[in-house]
Amino acid sequence: MALRALLGLHIHHLLLRRNPKFQKFPNYFNPTSLIPRSRTLISRFSSTGKNLILTKDERVGTSGTVEGLGTIAAIVTSLGGGPAAVGIVRLSGPMAVDVASRVFQPAKRNGEVPWRPRSHFVEYGLALDLEGNVIDEVLAVPMLAPRSYTREDVVELQCHGSDVCLRRVLRACLEAGARLAEPGEFTLRAFLNGRLDLSQAENIERLISAKSVAAADSALAGMQGGFSALVKGLRKQCIELLVEIEARLDFEDELPALDSSMLIDKINLMWHDVQQALDTADYDKLLQSGLQIAIVGRPNVGKSSLLNAWSKSDRAIVTEIAGTTRDVVEAHVTVQGIPVTLLDTAGIRETDDLVEKIGVQRSEAAAMSADVIIMAISASDGWTEDDKKLMEHLQMNQMSTSFATPMILVINKIDCAPSITEELFEINTRIFKKHVCTCAVTGQGIVELEKAVLEVRGLDSIPAGGRRWTVNQRQCEQLLRTREALSRLKSSICEELPSDFWTIDLREAVLALDEISGVDISEEVLSNIFSKFCIGK
Amino acid sequence: MRLRLRPMAAAAAAAAAVASPIIPSFLHPSRRLRLRLSLSIPRSTQRCFSSRSCVPRRRLTTVAASTAKGDIGGVEERFDVIVVGGGHAGCEAALASARLGARTLLLTLNIDRIAWQPCNPAVGGPAKSQLVHEVDALGGEIGKIADRCYLQKRVLNLSKGPAVRALRAQTDKREYAMEMKKVVESTPNLFVREAMVTEILVGNNDNVEGVHSFFGVDFYAPSVVLTTGTFMSGKIWVGRASMPAGRAGESASQGLTENLQYLGFETDRLKTGTPARVDRRTVDFSGLEPQHGDEQVSWFSFDPDFHIEREQMCCYLTRTTKDTHKLIKDNLHETPTYGGWVEAKGPRYCPSIEDKIVRFQDKESHQIFLEPEGRNVPELYVQGFSTGLPERLQLALLRTLPGLENCLMLRPAYAVEYDYLPAHQCSRSLMTKKIEGLFFSGQINGTTGYEEAAAQGLVAGVNAARHSCGKPLIVLERESSYIGTLIDDLVTKDLREPYRMLTSRSEHRLLLRSDNADSRLTPLGREVGLIDDRRWDLYQSKQARIIAEKQRLKSVRVSGGDLAAEVTLLSGQPVKDSVSLESILKKPHVQYNVLDKHGYGNNLLTRMEKECVEIDIKYEGFILRQQSQLQQIVNQQHRPLPEDLDYYSMTTLSLEAREKLSKVRPQTIGQASRVGGVSPADITALLICLETNRRKASERKRLELQRSSIADVNDLNSSPVLTSHAVNSN
């Protein structure tokens, strides 16, 4: 234990050192410093230029405005780069302490008292999920505003370095009310709150523009798999229910009464769907499944041999007969700490054999849902017409889903034809991000292949979770928030609250399910109302 | 007077139509070139009506030119505020302005049509009633007049939640106009005059100086509110026949559109319509479903002096039949939309009967309401039955409805097209961005409805008065009220149809209820100066009673007894021993009157006050949750944006965002985020630009200060911080 504590402290010191301003300018946070810190504190009752802006309900006691933005959380140490000793989940925002106190239980006190951390004072304790199960032993490092990286309240939870631990702690934080941070959001807040110098602003701008690209990418990435179909389906259902209810609120006397039992059934079904998805999408399982790599190619280029060589097993049957592999064969390997599932597929070709035909279909399906596609060709045969057809076919499939899975070209059986013509690669560099020469028999090229896989997935150098991971975390967060909203909705219905109250949580569910936030759902609901119902004077 | 004006206006229109495309410069030989050729061409083709002489138009400009030279002889008429238009927006604007002490002139085309209800004889309904309550809470008039002139009142959405509960009143159209006219005429500081405004007088600093009328009179004021309704280049249609008119039988206002275009405003055209009126005496009500008013009448106004009950009238429900549908389907080519001679699209929530039948083929019947237009007039308003069919088919169509088999038609249904100014040209104070002191409100901003007009009128009137005496303008934030939501939507979003207020347009409607409109807005009304001492005392004592009652309910506890038994029965939940009245009230289906029934109520409270208490207690959890969500976003949303931002220089914004933001010029970050085509990433980029600009500016300032006086550097450096703290502690 003492060791853990020391380790934690050590990391903390590192953190301090990383921000030299902490030490160089001890009065950096002095209120008389040049930069006013209160960028986010402009009161809504203040006069802005010529205009007096007012909002207030005198009957509801003003509970004081919450300063700044929402509270965000993310894993800030790198993931997927092999197990590290310590990983950090960072919380930042006005509710950071509040959220942390729901996740973190200090060892010294019992959980009854609200946790009142002393700033910059490390505490040892347990991280619990909302049901009270222990997730990990952690060190909590509270850094209260303004003496923190973002100048908001920051709490860092230092966990054991395994990805599983980190993800579970993060999930607990999200369940406790934090929102998953956008890429670069901590730095953005630091900047907007007056930290960092101007020269760094440019970097942030770059980060933000990269962010919108990343958002588009992740929206695209979300298109594959049942996950996003689920999210879209749920969102559509929520909107439909909203339309049913809202139409009757604005046009009461023109529509038949609401069929509330139908509504309740639908809501229950949706809740069930979300819960099921959350169960299956549990982080631990996601981590277990890791990356999926489909090995495709025309028959008899040595896909199965490659799988066997890579997984150092005899998982797949290898013969000289073309079309030996008929179903998808799985093998598991670990690439720099990331679990990887290799999918050996049936050679794709035109065939009349029914069993093989099904196999071919499955191969295509595997390729469609994989994270990386490895297309194998045989060096001895060179770039054949069939290879070309197959490549075009894969491209077509990708275009239909408008999502480009990175593809690697593996030139197998390199031992049979050691010299390869250069023009082969000139044709293919646009489609294949990498090419590797291998010899499945000797295991030559496997290391290079592993490196190529990490590179094309961008896992070699991404600091805080690869893009693929981010998508999953986000989807998980979406579902969590949706489940909360639907749970509240169910209880509203149970308590027989009027239908207007149902719309509040339905709207929240829709917002949670929106892949890109900031969409104006009011207009969407309205146009659905007008297209669905005949209303108006 | 009226008779003489009409042919002249028509002729003037014709003159513009004929002359402008051919020899534009000839049209306005005086002071300055008033028309832009490119803008005038499409407008003139719309108005090809007849081709008579263009003499009157020329005479008009000659007259205008001579007065503009400032000849002696005339009495110069100076005011603080001029309101153009005497409809629901104009009345509220003029009253608010005059009540704030501004010498106010209300110019209208016809004094006898002040506060006319040209369409539905009703006030309120979902979302609209919230607007009326809010206007009343701010000291406006619409709620009081509706309370005074109602024919029938009903509360809609009674069981659907306190936020969407809505009061609707059928009103006596003539009485309504008379009552409002009386108020307008008896308000000190308020002067009424008939005039057709054709020109805005603009000073050297792009500031408004007054208006110029058709007959050549200049009225001067530093603030002008335009509430032109459907009158600006209005044109009415029945079937294929059309004529320039603001409403049936009333001349349109000509010339102002061109003047506004000349001043650089963008104008566009909208369309709306009104159904036929039938003679009540010819309708057989025996087979129709009656719709009675509520037994317990509710009120728009928070002022109990206006809570005077009167006898109610009945509305009736009828339905379209197979014959109706057949007649319409057979004659679709005779309607403007399907015949293809009118392109302007009507609002989605006011579809014509032919639209309903075409779009919802599988619906066998549509319900039609028959609403009385007054106590002493035979007119019945046929709600849900507006049509573009020619008049010769309209009576036959009406007679397909059960109960109307032998009806007589008093007025045909007609559609009206009019000019409006897309409201992104206004800021949220409703002052235009181009001309200082010029305000727009009502249908000119693209809205529809008396309530929407009144709400804008009040804001414009208050701000016009404040502007005339140099006070800061008022902006109601979106989150504060339906009024704020309405105006924010208008000036921010790209609207394609007349805007009607709907509850689903408000993101936090649970907080914007009719019962708390006063506690949200009356303090502002008081601060502005529209709430007098009597109203303020009433308000304060009401709030005090509500707070005291909530305290009492918290502290009084009951055990067992009849109350507990009934509560168990009603809610289906057990009642614990020594339970507070507050917890009892939180239970489902338990209303305050249950407490009354068992002697636990408080007789000092009115029905409304009890309702307030009940809502506050019953929905406390939800209300607090919404409140805290709101507070989380509000700081970010209300961050002001400098007016002079150069969006085109912000290369990190998407091109679309740069264009849209330059056009709308939002005042806050929140408003910027609601501009169509602006993504969350754009908002982040905008925040970064702002922070970068701010730092550069403060860096520059610091260097300047350093240069000027090294000795003072320390003091001066701290000053920006101090000011920012002062702002925050407000």
Q: Is a pLDDT exceeding 70 seen at residue B684?
A: yes
Q: Is a pLDDT exceeding 80 seen at residue B136?
A: yes
**Residue A337 pLDDT:** 60
Q: Inter-chain contact B640–A42, Cβ cutoff 8 Å? A: yes
Taking Cα atoms as reference points, which of B427, B482, B11, B464 lies closest to residue B254? B11
Q: Please state the rounded mean pLDDT for residues B431-457.
A: 96
Q: What confidence tens digit (pLDDT) does each residue in B118-127 have?
A: 999 999 999 9
Q: Inter-chain contact B680–A517, Cβ cutoff 8 Å? A: yes
**Residue A42 pLDDT:** 27
Q: Return the number of CB contacts < 8 Å for A and B.
A: 254
**Residue B372 pLDDT:** 96
Length of chain A counted residue by residue: 537
Give CA angle at B580 (B577, B584), nearest 5°.
90
Q: Is a pLDDT exceeding 70 seen at residue B676?
A: yes
Residues 158-217 of A with CB under 8 A from B: 188, 191-192, 194, 198, 201, 204-205, 208-209, 211-212, 215
- DSSP-assigned letters across all residues of B394-436: HHHHHTTSTT-TT--EEE--EEEEEEE--GGGB-TTSBBSSSB
Q: Is a pLDDT exceeding 50 seen at residue B727?
A: no
CA–CA min distance B438, chain A (Å): 16
**A58 to chain B: which residues are within 8 Å by CB?**
519-520, 523, 543
Residue of B nearest to A65 (CA): B631
Q: Could you tell me if A93 lies within 8 Å of chain B, comparing CB atoms?
A: no
On the question of a cis peptide bond just before residue A146, with omega within 30 degrees of 0, the verdict is yes
**Residue A311 pLDDT:** 81
Q: How many helices (H) and strands (E) does chain A have?
A: 17, 15
**Residue B343 pLDDT:** 67
Residues 364-383 of B with CB under 8 A from A: 366-367, 369, 383
Amino acid found at A299: P
- What CA–CA distance (Å, rounded) separates A107 from B312? 71
Cβ neighbours, 10 Å, residue B519? 22
* Lookup result for tokens 């007349």: B498
Residue of A nearest to B360 (CA): A534
DSSP three-state, residue B74: coil
**Residue A33 pLDDT:** 33
Torsion of CA B662, B667, B673, B677, to 10 degrees: -20
Q: Inter-chain contact B634–A44, Cβ cutoff 8 Å? A: yes
Q: Is a pLDDT exceeding 90 seen at residue B706?
A: no
Q: A226 versus B658: which is more confidently predicted?
A: B658
**Residue A381 pLDDT:** 79
Q: Is a pLDDT exceeding 90 seen at residue B544?
A: yes
Q: Is a pLDDT exceeding 70 seen at residue B89?
A: yes
**Residue B280 pLDDT:** 96
Residues 6+ apart with CB under 8 A from A524: A239
Q: How many helices (H) and strands (E) does chain B have?
A: 26, 25
- What CA–CA distance (Å, rounded) separates B487 from B470? 22
Residues 454-483 of B with CB under 8 A from A: 472-477, 479-481
Nearest residue, CB atoms, A38 vs list B524, B674, B728: B728
Inter-CA distances, A47 with A43, A172, B392, B428, B638, Å: 9, 40, 59, 14, 11
**Residue A302 pLDDT:** 83
**Residue A16 pLDDT:** 36
**Residue A203 pLDDT:** 65
Classify B367 in phi/psi space as left (phi over 0), alpha (psi -120 to 50) or beta: beta
* Lookup result for tokens 């009345």: B91
**A535 to chain B: which residues are within 8 Å by CB?**
349, 351
Q: Could you tell me if B666 lies within 8 Å of chain A, comparing CB atoms?
A: no
Residue of B nearest to A38 (CA): B724
**Residue A10 pLDDT:** 40
Q: Is a pLDDT exceeding 90 seen at residue B341?
A: no
Instruction: Give percent above pLDDT 90 in chain B.
Output: 64
Q: Which of A28, A53, A69 best probes binding to B when mutated, by most B CB atoms within 10 angstroms?
A: A53
Q: Do residues B303 and B141 lie in contact, with contact meaning Cβ atoms separated by under 8 Å?
A: no
State the pLDDT confidence band at B218, using cuts at 50, 70 and 90.
very high
Q: Inter-chain contact A204–B688, Cβ cutoff 8 Å? A: yes
- DSSP-assigned letters across all residues of B180-205: HHHHHHHSTTEEEEE--EEEEEE-TT
Instruction: Give percent above pLDDT 70 in chain B.
Output: 86
Nearest residue, CB atoms, A504 vs list B369, B510, B523: B510
CA–CA min distance B463, chain A (Å): 10
Beta strands A291-296 and A338-344 are: parallel
Give CA angle at A492 (A490, A494), nearest 5°.
70
Q: Could you tell me if B626 lies within 8 Å of chain A, comparing CB atoms?
A: yes
Considering A80-84, A206-210, B436-440, B630-634, the range whose residues carry the highest mean pLDDT is B436-440
pLDDT (tens, 9 = 90+) of chain A, 537 residues, equals: 444 444 433 433 333 333 433 333 333 333 333 333 322 222 333 333 445 565 567 777 654 444 556 889 988 876 655 556 888 999 999 889 989 998 998 887 655 567 788 889 999 988 988 888 888 889 999 999 888 988 899 999 998 877 777 888 888 898 888 888 877 788 888 888 887 776 666 666 665 555 445 454 554 444 445 566 777 888 889 999 999 888 888 887 777 778 888 888 898 889 888 887 776 555 444 445 567 788 888 888 888 888 888 888 777 777 777 777 777 778 878 776 667 878 887 777 777 777 777 777 777 777 777 778 888 888 877 778 888 888 887 777 776 654 567 788 888 887 777 666 555 655 566 677 778 888 877 888 888 888 888 777 655 543 333 333 334 566 777 788 888 899 889 888 888 889 899 998 998 888 888 765 555 677 777 777 777 776 655
